[in-house]
Structure 1
Amino acid sequence: MGTDIDGVIESRSADGSWKIEVGLLDLQLGRDYRAWGCLFDVRGMEGVRTLFADRGLPNDVSDPVREMSIDPDSDYQHSHTYATWAEVAAVDWDAPLADGPAFYYAGEWRPGEDGELVLHGIVEAAWGDVLDAAYDTFGDDHPGTPSEWPPGGEVCLDGAVYRPVVLTARMLAPPDEGRWARLWTAMRDLAAEHGDDNVRLVVWFG
C-alpha cells in the first residue's frame, strides 16, 4: 500500500495568526519516497539523517489545518511535521546525510558538454543491470552493493560510470529543479512578502 503526502504553506500575519496560502495538492508533488525520507523521515533509507522529522503540528497551527490534518476517528493521517522558510533556506543541500557510502544506491556519472564526467543522479544499484555489471567488474565472490565495492572501484555500463556515493539532500530532494523547486519557490516568494520566519510548510502523510 502506498503513502501520500498532504499539507499546506502557511503565512503569519501581523496579529500573529497563521493562514493557509497554498495547498500542497495544488503543487502536484506526487509520491517521492527518496525526498520524503530525507526531509521528513517518511519511507526513507536507514542510516540517512533527516532534516525536518517528527515535529508534530505547530502549537499555533491555523484551525483549518488542524481540522484537515487530524481525523479523531482514524490514525490514517500520521507523521505530522513542519519547517519555516528560514530553516529551509539555511539547509546545506550538499552536506553528507550519512557517515559512509549508500548501501543500495550508486552515483551515476555521464559526460557533460565538455566531455568531463558529471553526476547525473543516483540509481538503485543493489540489483538489476548495475549489480550484474558489478559482478562482472569485481568478480562473483565480491559483494555487489556499492558500499562494499573495492576502494576507488567503479562500474561502467551503457556510457555511464557508477561509483559509490555519500548521499546529500540535493541528491534526494533537488531544491532547484522539478517538483520540489515549485514548493521552495512558492515559500521563497511568500517569505519576501511576510518574512522568513513567517512562512512555513506543514505536512502530514496518509
Structure 2
Amino acid sequence: MGADIDGAIESRSSDGVWRFEVALWTLGPGRDTNAFQCLFGTGRGEVGTDRPFFARRGLPDDVSDPVREGSAFGDCEHSHTYATWAEVAAVDWDAPITDGPAWLWAGEWRSGEDGDLVLHDLAWVTPAINEAADDAFGGDFDSPAEWPPGGEVVLDGVVYRPVVLTARMFVSPDKENWVALWTAMRDLAAEHGDENVRLVAWFG
C-alpha cells in the first residue's frame, strides 16, 4: 500500500458543524514513513510500533463535505483516521511505543560534555554491529533485542546499546517537517477550543 499522506484540518463552530480549514499538503509533512507508523500505524516505515496513537479510526461520521469528497478521490486511499488537537496535545512523546528493545535500531551512545555517555542518536543495525555483538557475547545475534541484559557493543569508538523506541525519536512536536501542521492546529485550537480542531488523514 502507498505511504503518501493526504487530508485536512477541520474546525467545529458553535453550531456543531465541522468545516474545512486547510489542506494537509500545504503544510508539508511529506513522506515520513517512520512518523506515519508512530502516529497512524501505517506505511512502510521501520519502527514496528506496537502502539500507534491514532490508527485507522475511519472517517468521522460528521466530517465536512470537502474532506469527505477528497478522501474518496480514487480507489487507492486507505487507513483513514483522525485526531483532535486535544488528543495530539496530550501525547506523551517519550513513552515507549514498542513492547521491548527495537529489532532494527540501536542506541548510539557518545561521550557528553562531562565525559559521561549520553544517547546521541539512533543507529540502523548494520552487519558490522551484529558481528561485533557476536564477538562480544559469543553467539550469533541478529538484533540488539537478542543481546544479553545490560549488553553493549563498542565499535569504532561508539557504544551501541539496545534501545526502546519513543515517538519523539521519529515525530517530535518540533521536528521540522511537522511543525507547520502542529502549529496550524494549535493556532486554530486557540480560537475554537482543543476539542473543536482535528486532523483528518488518509494514505494512498
Unaligned regions of 5+ residues in structure 1, if any? Answer: none
Deviation of 1:2 after TM superposition, in Å, equals 5.0
1:167 paired with 2:165, answer yes
Aligned to 1:190: 188
Counterpart Cα distance in 1 of 2:158 and 2:24: 35
Counterpart Cα distance in 2 of 1:175 and 1:83: 15
Unaligned regions of 5+ residues in structure 2, if any? Answer: none
- Give a deviation string over 1:47-66, Cα, whole Å, max 9, x none: 52111001101111110011
The change in CA–CA distance for 1:25 and 1:159 in structure 2 (over 3 A counts) is: farther
- Give a deviation string over 1:130-160, Cα, whole Å, max 9, x none: 3343334334x33130100121111233443
Aligned to 2:77: 77
Counterpart Cα distance in 1 of 2:91 and 2:33: 19
Counterpart Cα distance in 1 of 2:188 and 2:112: 35
Identity value in percent:
65
Counterpart Cα distance in 1 of 2:128 and 2:20: 46
The change in CA–CA distance for 1:147 and 1:25 in structure 2 (over 3 A counts) is: same
Counterpart Cα distance in 1 of 2:146 and 2:180: 36
Equivalent residues in 2 for 1:195-206, closer than 5 Å: 195-206=193-204
Aligned to 1:15: 15
Equivalent residues in 2 for 1:2-41, closer than 5 Å: 2-41=2-41
Deviation of 1:117 after TM superposition, in Å, equals 3.0
Name the aligned partner's letter for residue 27 of structure 1.
L
Deviation of 1:100 after TM superposition, in Å, equals 1.2
- Give a deviation string over 1:78-135, Cα, whole Å, max 9, x none: 100000000111111111122211111112223334443332332321x344334333
Counterpart Cα distance in 2 of 1:56 and 1:167: 26
The change in CA–CA distance for 1:2 and 1:63 in structure 2 (over 3 A counts) is: closer
Counterpart Cα distance in 1 of 2:193 and 2:108: 38
SS of 1:54 mapped into structure 2: coil
Aligned to 1:100: 100
The change in CA–CA distance for 1:20 and 1:132 in structure 2 (over 3 A counts) is: farther
Aligned to 1:137: 136
- Give a deviation string over 1:14-41, Cα, whole Å, max 9, x none: 2222222222211221111111111101
The number of residues matched between the two structures is 202
The change in CA–CA distance for 1:109 and 1:190 in structure 2 (over 3 A counts) is: farther
Aligned to 1:59: 61
Deviates more, 1:150-159 or 1:27-36: 150-159
The change in CA–CA distance for 1:2 and 1:161 in structure 2 (over 3 A counts) is: farther
Aligned to 1:153: 151
Root-mean-square deviation over aligned CA pairs: 2.0
Counterpart Cα distance in 1 of 2:118 and 2:199: 32
The change in CA–CA distance for 1:70 and 1:134 in structure 2 (over 3 A counts) is: same
